[in-house]
Every structure is written in structure tokens, then in C-alpha cells.
Structure 1
């Protein structure tokens, strides 16, 4: 039986189709669009656009799987709920903790990334970078206290600005495009295209985040899948357009790959292009953090209802009925992670491997559940199996960070055994 959270009457259904689409787009489009088009082109040359096309098609089954599961089983528990329905409470709670312990690390990393872009333009000190990152996180938490209706409206504006700036970047680059930049087409061989495809996988992760908001969808059976399809199309178009023009203008190589979008924009806009990219980076990172903070606070609420997390995780705001307990937990974690980064105890490159591994584990759990829950849907079953094969095949390549989810599983198993022992002694 579920434990009831404090003075809870349930989460409000406030998210219509436009809100759902913008939340999906904000969750999926991350800093990768700023970095990876140039890096991919440097590794595989013009043939990198085939890798973008391949991954765009390959991740669609994953998006469809999450959309169908959200439509049939809307819950603040998201992927953990799907797993719980098939494999029981322990497995469901485990996947919930995978996701919950990803965001406290991942969100500060994204916020610091945004601050670094601003630091280049404004010549900030390291202290100012981390203070700005903290302000981004505080702003997002406050938005989520007032409810997803407020947060999603802000998300709609932010995602609209992101799309507009990326479209501007593409259009401004068209006059500088040349067919000659597509030869030689495969300078590093076809193996390099496969290597790039694996690299690009991270650009398309984010579909799992919005499943945790599905309990607040208006008509989830109708809007969850429609939201996935609309957002997947928009994301694919934006990613592929930027990647194509990066190659067509040869805005990569010679130390320019990590700033390829800035290089491309400056072809027409000059130095002002640097500001355009800086603003884009800020918008992209705020949108991503917003989507994941909203999702993580809901999974904290769901875990509290299941008795797998402290009861105060399930505390709801008296007026807005938002999961302030989960938001408070995230605020504490954000402070700790920003402190660790500011003191340079670990760098971003190493730290980001931890949430990457738990996101991967979350997807594997969701796909395993999808295979069972969508078995009466021809397309759903195909999408779930395709997603499962892809994620399981790539998991071993995570390296040592693949042990992080296993460590979480070991701790949760130990806690569960201690609870069982306590119940046995009290009988």
C-alpha cells in the first residue's frame, strides 16, 4: 500500500499539448547542439551528417516507447511506475532512484555549462561562474514551486527562443554554404561514422524525463504520443539542419570544432554572433534544467508514496500542490555539487559520467517494462524491443561509470533487507 504524502490530494492536470511538446524539446535539446555538430564533422567529415540522420531515426523508437507508456499509465513515477507494474516494487523503486540520483548531479553541470558561455562574453571569474549557475538553479526551483503551469509557460517561451536562434543560425549560414565542402565525403573511413553515431546518442536522451510529468497531462492518452511525435520531428529538424550547415560552411576543424555554431553564425553576423550563441547556450541550459528538475521532484514524490524515500520527499505545497519536498532535496544536492565543482575536487568531464550511467540504466529499465506492457501494440512492441537492444548494446561502453547504478542498487538492497529484518523482529 502506498504511503500518503503530506496533505496531498494529488497533482493537478495542467499540461496541454503545447506545454508537453515544449517540455519534451527542452529536455532533449541540450548543450550537445552547441558542441557536437563540429566535433562530429571533425571525426567523420561530411559523412557525419549520415550519423545524425541514423541516430535521429534510431532514437525515435525510444521516444515512441516512452510516449506510449505515458499515455497508457500516466504517473508522477514515470519509468519507475512502468517497471514496478511488471517487475515489482523493488525494481520500480530502483529505477526511480536511478533517475532521482541523476538530476542532482546533471542539473548543476548543465547550469555551469551555461555560465561558462556567459563567462567568455563577460570575462567572469570562476566564483562568478558558480554563483551564476546557482542563480539559474534557484530560478528553476522557484518556477517549479509555483507549478508546472507556470514552469511550462516559461518553457514555451524559452524553447521558442531556442528554435528561433537556431533557425537564424541556419539561415544566416546558407549564403556561405558550398558543395565543395562535401568532398571528400568519408575522409576517415566508414568506421568513423559509426563512432560518431555512438557519440551523438547523448544528444537525443531526454524522453524519459517527461514521463514523470505525465500524471499532470491533460488527456494523456491522446496528448502523450502526439507530444512525442511533434517534439521528435522538431528536434530532428533542428539538429540535422545545424549539422548539415556546419559541414556545408566547413565551420569545424583547426581548433574551431567545439565552437562550430559560433563560427557558423559569425560568418554573417560577425562578433555579434558570439553573443547570439551565448544567449542560445543560456536558453538551452535553462530549458533542460527546468524539464529535469520538474521530473526529479515528481519521482521524489512518487518514491515517498511508495515508502522507498523519506516521507518529507512527498510533501506538497499547500496552495500550489507542487512537490516542494522533492524540490528541497534537489536544492540541497545542487548546493553540494556546485561546492565540489567550485573547489575543483572533480571536473565536469569526470562528473558527467555518473548521471550518464544512471540515465542509461533508467532507459534499460523502461525498455524492459515496455516490452511487456506494450505487447498488445504492434508498433509499441517493436519500438520497445528496438530501444532495448540499442541501450543494452551500448551500456558496456560506458566504462567504469557503469558501476554507479550497480552501487545504487547495492545500497537500496541493503536498506530493504534492513527494513525486512526490523519488521521481522517487531512481529
Structure 2
């Protein structure tokens, strides 16, 4: 989520903000999860998803340029497919926030536990619970990370990624890429399913569109962002395999392991601190945005109207925030009891966010004019659906949320309620 930005965005500022929308703390652990799924062939999944990102990113840039009010994917879905589709898309995002927030908190927890030498499971979950509590408390107090602080944390992540690649790359060995595909094509598809977590965020271009001086500025920022993440993602993927070899699939903190190879053991505490800042910033921001989305869903009949009350300019929607807090606590408790691991949580989150992306580019096929832009939207939709298929059984998560959204919308239609205005 991006806050208000004073003035008009140029290509450089816009690129920094878009990089921040796509990058996140998940990058601290995804190289490990992808390597565990596909071995060295995980680099193919990284490359395939980068190719997918090109038409998807440019399609969202085209949508943002033509609809600069930045209503988000739910608004595009409403424009193209109607109110019920908008409710479903909104629920995909709102409903998966408790799962995604827990996943992000566990990423930070793993790095802190590794840096402090804590018990891997107990220490990780203790740190994760603390991060969640602080993030929800900060939102309840009306404290959100500023745009400058968010940008600083993004730059910190870029620095960590680049530092890990540059310091460890000289230690890479070709032998670490053999056997290249120990799990075959199935492993590559499996890796793509979890890596989708690192490729959502392009829809943020539509939210930022009104801040750009013109459509060209948004397009230039999108192209520059594609270049930045291509270099970072491929650099991290290749270096992780080339340097760590089989350890890439075993170490839950791959970037800390890379920095330790290149810069020594003193790097671990530094990476742990960066992980905490990145994780807290991401959770805090997404909870703030989701709480307001929940109030908007209630306003539009996709949640009980009670959750829309109390919101307003400069005010915190406590009822929606409380619902998110309860859902996150329940998710955390169930994950502990059922011993749900980080890989499962990230795949469930990826499935929902990938569904949001697919809905956005599918809407573009309906609302963009005939010609080059519509052809690009069609290509983006086909590729997005192919990527969505990589989520496999985790597609059950967005399917259940879609059912909940439709039931809630139908119930609201049968019993009209007074609408509450939410900004």
C-alpha cells in the first residue's frame, strides 16, 4: 500500500515506489523454498515468472494510464464484470491477509532466531508473534510507516540482496548446478507456485497512476522496475544455487548464508535486523490497507455493514482492524496446532494474490481498447492463468474466499442496509 505522495511523480520516484511494491521480505526466504522444490532447476521458474511479469506489468501500467483515479483491481473487476466480481477480488485480498501476515512474520522470525542462535521453531514463532502484536498495536494507535521509511526499508532490502550476490558470487561453482533438475518439470512447476509470492504487486501501478505526470511516466517507471527486479531476482537465484549448492534447499536463511560466505559471520546479525525492519514495515502497511479495504467491502455489501462504521478521513476502522486481528490470531493458533510450515502459508497467500492479478489483467481485456493494448492484455491473461495453475491444490483457498464473498453479497442484497461512507 502506498501513501499519499506530494506533487507529481517522475520516473525515478515512481520506479522506487514500484520496486517497493513488488519486492518484499519474502525474498529473504524464497530462494530456499524454490531450491527445495526444484533444486538448481528453480532458476527456470524464476526466469519464467520474470517473462510473465512483462505483459502483466505493462497491462497494469496501461490500465493505470487510462483510469488514473487508481481504484485498484477490485474497481477494474467491477467495471468489467460487475459488483459481485469486485466483491470476490476484494475478498481474495482481505481474506488472505491473516495468512500472508503470519508468513511475513515467520520470515523475520527465522532470520532473528538464526542471528541470535535461538531454538529454530520456538524462537521463530516467538519473534513472529511479537511482530504481529506490535504491527496490530501500531495500527490501532494510528501509527503507520511513512512513505520515506517504507522507501528506506526497500533500499535496505535491495542493498542486502545486491550485497549477498556481489560478495558471494566469486565463490560459485559449476558443480553445484548438477544434477540440474532432480525433480523434473514437476519440481519447476512446484517452485513457480511458491515464487508467485515475489511477483505480485504489479497492480500497485494502478493505485499510483494518479500521482504520475502522465501515462508515459508510469510506463517508464514500470519498464525500469522490470529491469531492476530482473537483475536482482536472477542474480539471487543463480548465486544461491551456485554458492550454496544443496545447502540452498536446507538453509531457511539463504541470504544470511550467502553473506556469511562472502563477508563472514558478522553479517548474520545485520541481516537479522534488516529482516525485522522489512517484516514489520510490510505487515504494518498491509494491515493498514486491508483494514480500510474491509470497511469498504462492508460499505459495498460484501461484509456486514457493522464493520463499515467508525471509519472516515484520518480515522482508523477499528471494527475491520479487529476482525483482521482475530482472524490472524486464529490463523496463528491453527498453524501452531497443525504444524503448518512457512512454505504452505506462502503458497496459500500466493494463490490468492495471483488470483487478484489474473482478475486484473482479465478485466483489462474487457476495458482496454482494441488493438495492441488489448492483445497485450490477452497475452497477460493467458500467462497469468498458467501461473495460477501452478498453485495446484492451493487454489482451494481463493475458491473458498470467492464462495464467502458471493454468499455475503447475496445476503446483503436480500436485506438492504444503510450505507456508510468510507474514503
TM-score normalized by the length of structure 1:
0.79
Q: Could you tell me how far apart the structure 2 residues matched to 1:288 and 1:331 are?
A: 16
Q: State the shift of 1:210 in Å.
A: 2.3
- State which of 380, 383, 391 in structure 2 corresponds to 1:398: 391
CA positional deviation for 1:81: 0.2
SS in 1 for 2:302: coil
Contact 1:28 1:205 in 2 (8 A): yes
Comparing 119-128 with 266-275, greater Cα deviation is found at: 119-128
Offset, 1:106? 0.9
- Taking the aligned partners of 2:323 and 2:115, their CA distance within structure 1 comes to 33
Residues 53-85 of structure 1: per-residue CA shift (max 9 Å, x gap)? 332122221122223223322456410100100
* 1:365 CA displacement: 1.5
353-362 or 159-168: bigger deviation: 353-362
After TM superposition, give the deviation of residue 301 of structure 1 in Å. Answer: 4.5
**What's 1:141 paired with?**
139
- Aligned pairs for 1:104-123 (under 5 A) are 104-122=98-116, 123=118
Residues 131/19 of structure 1: CA separation in 2 closer, same or farther (3 Å cut): farther
Helix, strand or coil at the partner of 1:206: coil
Q: Quick check: 2:31–2:240 contact (8 Å CA) kept in 1?
A: yes
Residue 71 of structure 1 contacts residue 221 of structure 1 at CA under 8 Å; is this kept in 2?
Answer: yes
Distance 1:392 1:137, change over 3 A: same
Aligned to 1:198: 192
Q: Secondary structure at the match of 2:391?
A: helix
C-alpha deviation, 1:381, in angstroms: 2.3
- 1:163 corresponds to 2:158: yes
2:380 counterpart (373, 382, 387): 387
Q: Which residue of 2 aligns with 1:229?
A: 223
Write out per-residue CA displacement over residues 93-152 of structure 1, whole angstroms, 9 at most, x where no aligned residue. 221111111212211221122123212322264563244222452376369x456xx532
Match 1:370 to one of 359, 364, 368: 364
- How far is the alpha carbon of 1:181 from its aligned partner? 3.8
Q: Which moved more, 1:281-290 or 1:51-60?
A: 281-290
Deviations 1:176-226 (A, max 9, x none): 235x44765846497378436624641433225625744873547455434
Alignment of 1:197-216 (within 5 A): 198-199=192-193, 201-208=195-202, 210=204, 213-214=207-208
Q: Which residue of 2 aligns with 1:411?
A: 404
Conserved in 2, the CA contact under 8 Å of 1:252 and 1:260? no
1:38-117 matches, cutoff 5 A = 38=32, 40=34, 48-75=42-69, 77-117=71-111
Query: Contact 1:256–1:263 (CA<8 Å) still a contact in 2?
Result: no
Q: Unaligned 5+ residue runs, structure 1? A: 1-10
Aligned partner (choices 28, 31, 47) of residue 34 of structure 1: 28
Alpha-carbon distance in structure 2 between the residues aligned to 1:140 and 1:19: 27
Query: What's the offset of the Cα at 1:239?
Result: 1.2
Asked if structure 2 preserves the Cα contact closer than 8 Å seen for 1:98 and 1:359, the reply is yes
Count of residue pairs brought into register by the alignment: 407
Alignment of 1:232-271 (within 5 A): 232-253=226-247, 256-271=250-265
Q: Is the 8 A contact 1:74 1:215 kept in 2?
A: yes
RMSD (Å), alpha carbons: 3.7
**For each residue in 1:319-350, what CA deviation from the matched residue of structure 2 results, as whole angstroms up to 9, or x when unmatched?**
x3676665454344334433444555755444
Alpha-carbon distance in structure 2 between the residues aligned to 1:12 and 1:117: 32
CA distance in 1, matches of 2:309, 2:217: 27
Do the aligned partners of residues 283 and 419 (structure 1) sit closer, same or farther apart at CA in structure 2, a change above 3 Å counting? closer
Q: Is the 8 A contact 2:240 2:258 kept in 1?
A: yes
Q: Any conservation in 2 of the 1:67–1:211 contact (CA below 8 Å)?
A: yes
Work out whether residues 37 and 188 of structure 2, in 8 Å CA contact, stay in contact via their aligned partners in 1. Answer: no
Bigger drift between 120-129 and 107-116 goes to 120-129
- 5+ residue gaps in structure 2? 417-423
- The structural deviation recorded for 1:89 is 1.2
Counterparts of 2:207 and 2:191 in 1: how far apart (Å)?
29
- Return the offset for 1:41: 5.1
Q: Is the 8 A contact 1:262 1:273 kept in 2?
A: yes
1:171 positional shift: 1.7
Structure 1 77/353 Cα, relative in aligned 2: closer, same or farther at 3 Å? Answer: same
The alpha carbon displacement at 1:298 in A equals 4.5
- Normalised to the residue count of structure 2, the TM-score between the two structures is 0.80
